[in-house]
Amino acid sequence: MSDYPLLNLFWTMLEFFLWILWFFLLFKVISDLFRDHTIGGWAKAGWLVLVILLPLLGVLLYVIFRGRSMAERDQAQAKQAEERFQQYVRETAGPGSGASHADELKKLADLKASGALSEEEFQKAKEKILA
């Protein structure tokens, strides 16, 4: 027989899970606090002191009062990351990576022949490709 019943094991696992969850929330609040550019240094220091000295109350108050703006900052950061990734993809896979200069000049000549480009536009585009 065991001296540690199954129910005690369940409670221990639950306490461990809640402890890890608590630290995750604490780090999320502190990182959001430093990421927020709308509040000044004294306000950040005040929130940080509150979160450190009274962790449970400080974190709960932060989530209550600043939870919505916290989500907005997360969404803005995700949007910025997506835009940076898309820009990187455009720069990396842009013209010149798959098409040669001859292909681009052929496309320009076709556009000029169809009347979509004037002689001046054609020359400028050609110089840009050859440069």
Q: What is the pLDDT of residues 64-111, one digit of tens each?
A: 999 888 989 999 999 999 999 998 888 887 655 555 777 788 888 888
pLDDT tens-place string over residues 16-45 = 999 999 899 999 999 999 988 888 999 999
- The position carrying tokens 């065991």 is 2
CA dist 67 and 73 (Å) reads 10
What span, in angstroms and rounded, lies between the C-alpha atoms of 64 and 90?
40
> What crossing angle do the helices spanning 119-130 and 101-114 adopt, rounded to 10°?
180
pLDDT-based confidence at residue 126 (cuts at 50, 70, 90): confident
